[in-house]
Amino acid sequence: MESSIKTHLAVIGGGPGGYAAAFLAADLGLEVTLIDPEANPGGVCLYRGCIPSKALLHIAKLLNETEEAANWGVEFQKPKIDLGKLREYKNGVVNKLTNGTGQLLKQRNISHIRGRAVFLDSHTLEITKPDNEKSQLSFDFAILATGSRPAAISKLAVDSPRVMNSTSALDLDDIPGSLLVIGGGYIGLEMGTVYAALGSKVSVVEMMPGLLPGADRDLVRILSKRLEERFENIMLKTKVVEMKTLKESVKVTFENENGEREEKKYEKVLISIGRKPNSDSIGLENTKIETDKRGFILVDEQRRTKEASIYAIGDIAGEPMLAHKASHEGRVAAEAIAGHKTAYEPQAIPAVVFTDPEIAWCGLTENEAKEKGIKVEVMRFPWAASGRAITMDRTDGLTKLLFDPETERILGMGIAGAGAGELIAEGVLAIEMAALASDIKLSIHAHPTLSETVMESAEMFFGQATHVYRPKRK
C-alpha cells in the first residue's frame, strides 16, 4: 500500500549539489527531506567520482615521485602493490566522508528517505525504496539534484568486464597490462594517470586535435609533453569505430582523419567520453519543467525551473559539470526558497584537472577571449624562473594571467604545473574581488612558493617581474 507524507522542501539527489542545498536550507530554518538511494549523502562525487579518483591519484603521485627520486640520488626498489589494501584505502576514504555527511544530516534533523523519486505532478513525488515499496511525498518546494551518469557510445556497446566506464575503473579490479582510454577529457586522463602509475601501458584516443578540448593550448601542451613520456600512445584526430571482446583482450578498430583504419588489442578499455544528465525517467513530463537538447534542465538565475515550485542544480542544470559548481548552485537555490535575495552569478568557476602536472583555470580563458573578441593582455610566467619549482625539480609549469588592457583588471587565470589546483583559488578570489594587476603585484607572496608565480605574472604586466627580464614595450 502507498503511504503519503508531506514536507516543506524535498531535495532529490544527495550529491554535492543536493546535500549542500539540504544542509543550508535546514540551517536557514526550513523543514527538509532528502531523497537519495545511498545510505548517506555523497552522490557521484563522494562515492564514484572526485573523491575516490583523487585518493588513487594521490597514490599515483607517490609512485611517480619514487621513480623520479633516482634523479636526486635516492633510489627506491620497485614497489610491491597490494591491490586489496589499496582498494581498502580508497574505500576507507569514501566511507569516512560519507559517514560524515550522514552525521551532518542527522545533526540538522533532515529527514532522509532512501529511494528514487519521480514527479507525479508539480507538488508530489512517488518514491521507490530499495525494497521496491512505493510511497508518495508532497512538497511545497523541491530542489532537483539528480546529477549525471557516464555517457555510452551506443554503437560500441559491449557488455564485458574488459570494457569499463569511470565507475568500474575506480573499482580497480586488476591492473591490466594494457589499457585503452577512449576520450581525452579530464576523467579519462586522470584515470589513465592512475593506471599508468600502477603499471599499465596506457593509450589514449581522442577525436579532436588535442587533449582536454576545452582548455587553453599552452596549458595543455605542458601536460601532453609529460603524458607522452608516461603513456604508451596518444592518438589524436582518431575515432574508435568498432570494438570486439576476445577471450583475453578487446580488439579495437581505429579510424584516423584520412579514413584509414587500424586494429589493435588491449587487455582493457575505459570509455570516458563525457556525462549525461539524469533528467530522463524522473517524471519531468508531469511538470512544466523544460530541458535543452542535451537534457539539461532550463533554470533562471536563482536556479528555478519553469515550474515555480521546483529548482534544479548541479550536473542536471548544465555545464560545467563540477562538484563545487553544484554546491554553489545548491546554496543559491536554498537561499532563494528561504526568501533571501540571491542569484547565481559567479565571475570565476575554477576547473582543475588532477593529472601530473595539474592544469587549472578560472574566469576568462584565452580561447574564450579569442572567440568573443575580448581584448586581453596575457602575461605568462614560466616556472623555469620560479625558485620553488626548481627546488621541486618541477619546472614544467606555467602561470598566466589575463588582464583587461584598459582597466588593468584581472579577467582570468590559467596554470599548468604541480599543485595548480590549490593555486587557482587566488585567481578566483582576485577575479571575484575585481582585483587589478597592481593589487596582485603589491600583495606580498611567501618565498619560496609557487604562489609567487602569480605575483610575478602581475609584475610582468608592468614589465617589472623580478625573475624574468621582459621590459614593457613603450
Q: Which residue is nearest to ligand FAD (CB)?
A: 147
The single residue among 33, 146, 200, 457 that binds ligand FAD, judged by CB under 6 A, is 146
Q: Which is nearer to ligand FAD, 194 or 436 (CB)?
A: 194
Burial class (CB in 10 A: 0-12, 13-18, 19+), 398: buried
Q: How far is the CB of 355 from ligand FAD (least distance, A)?
A: 11
Q: Between residue 16 and residue 55, which ones bind ligand FAD under the rule CB under 6 A?
A: 16-18, 35-38, 43-45, 49-50, 53
The single residue among 7, 9, 15, 179 that binds ligand FAD, judged by CB under 6 A, is 15
Cell numbers at residue 379, please?
Answer: 602575461
Interaction pattern, residues 186-225, with ligand FAD; x per rule: CB under 6 A:
-x--------------------------------------
The single residue among 112, 116, 303, 388 that binds ligand FAD, judged by CB under 6 A, is 116
Q: Which is nearer to ligand FAD, 116 or 388 (CB)?
A: 116
Concatenate the DSSP letters of all residues of 20-50 into one string: HHHHHHHHTT--EEEEESSSSS-HHHHHHSH
Q: Which is nearer to ligand FAD, 294 or 470 (CB)?
A: 294
Q: Between residue 257 and residue 296, which ones bind ligand FAD under the rule CB under 6 A?
A: 278, 282
The single residue among 33, 166, 178, 457 that binds ligand FAD, judged by CB under 6 A, is 166
Burial class (CB in 10 A: 0-12, 13-18, 19+), 339: exposed
Q: Which stretch binds ligand FAD (CB under 6 A): 15-23, 72-80, 211-219, 410-418?
A: 15-23
Closest by CA to 278, choosing from 310, 327, 313, 324, is 313
The single residue among 124, 148, 355, 399 that binds ligand FAD, judged by CB under 6 A, is 148
CA distance 9 to 3: 18
Q: Is 298 helix (H, G, I), strand (E, B) or coil?
A: coil
CA distance 236 to 207: 6
Binding residue count for ligand FAD, defined by CB under 6 A: 35
Three-state secondary structure of 8-20: EEEEECCCHHHHH
Q: How far is the CB of 128 from ligand FAD (least distance, A)?
A: 9
Q: Is residue 12 within the footprint of ligand FAD (CB under 6 A)?
A: yes
CB 105 within 8 A of CB 34: yes
- Contacts of residue 296, Cβ cutoff 8 Å, sequence gap at least 6: 277, 279, 316, 317, 318, 319
CA distance 244 to 250: 6
- What phi, psi does 177 have (nearest 5°)? -60, -40
Q: How far is the CB of 129 from ligand FAD (least distance, A)?
A: 11
- The alpha carbon torsion through 416, 420, 426, 431 (nearest 10 deg) reads 40
Q: Is residue 314 within the footprint of ligand FAD (CB under 6 A)?
A: yes
Q: Is residue 457 within the footprint of ligand FAD (CB under 6 A)?
A: no
Q: Is residue 394 within the footprint of ligand FAD (CB under 6 A)?
A: no
Active site residues: 447
Q: How far is the CB of 386 from ligand FAD (least distance, A)?
A: 25
- CA distances, 1 to each of 4, 136, 230 (Å): 10, 11, 58
| Chain positions contacting ligand FAD, by CB under 6 A | 12-18, 35-38, 43-45, 49-50, 53, 116-117, 145-148, 166, 187, 278, 282, 314-315, 321-324, 326, 354
